[in-house]
Structure 1
Amino acid sequence: MTDRDTLLGYMGGWVTVTHPTDKAVWQGRLIGLADDPSLLLDGYGGARMCLPQSYDVKSAEPPAPPNVPPHRPPGEPRPLAELRDSGLLWLLNRVALHPRGLALAMHYDDAGECTGWSLLSTGDGSPWTFDVITDADGKARAEATLTAVDRQEATP
């Protein structure tokens, strides 16, 4: 547990919050403390979280902005790995597959090259979910990719 004076020193800054027993981790900007006692985080992508102050809190660097692959001319083939980096893998999973209990997974070799894909299932049809940070990052990447295509098509 992080003491209240330390938490006050982190106020307004980015922190990493770790559950003391199961080691689940959250990251966000510390925006408030309550007498419950709880702490309020403004997570990456605008998600708000309320967590117990009994969790371990440490100062953290803000997350890096999404690194979106450069846009390519329409019709030009793209490497399969860019499906993930562009946010389009997130979009396919989030919109079409995860609600059905399915997930498209990419496979990589030791050199980091994409070697294929597989379709995974929860087995019982329950939906897959992303953690808050992954969800916000995937959305930002997908939006940046789609916006780049929209801009290019609008340019004469």
Structure 2
Amino acid sequence: MKKRVFGRYLSRGEGARRALYVSLVRALVERGKIETSKAKAKAVIPEIEKLVTQGLKGNWSKILSFFGNDRKITRELSDLVRQFNRKSGFIRLINLSKRTGDQAAMVRIEWVDKIVTEAKEPGDKKKLEVKTKAKGETRPRKTAKRKVAKQLK
């Protein structure tokens, strides 16, 4: 009998499992929906619910510690949280067809409420300067390593 067993292992160690949860939550926050296996989805949903609830309460230190002080994702999550008018049930699971390789049950995780994001203007991006060499110009040769290697032999 398995007593006092908490959580799901997903055939991973503790660090790899935590990294998986962080990457799945980060992808959901960035894209709005993700497709994954049903086992991974069931394991990550409580983490998502906890993070959104903490965001609604204004407890950003727990969210920052979950994402490893990733300010960009935390900012996106804070914008998301402001749009929710509910206490729980932020996530929807939609069953998909089984994966062709191993017949694993697949699901789509998405937000229940429609998320409105600000459209960025295409002209806001900085133009990258491309440095080109003048005709006939060459890079200086790196010979110091070669000389040292020859002296050691």
Q: TM-score, normalised by structure 1?
A: 0.23
Greater Cα radius of gyration, structure 1 or 2? 2
Considering fraction of residues, name the structure with more helix: 2
Q: TM-score, normalised by structure 2?
A: 0.23
Considering fraction of residues, name the structure with more strand: 1
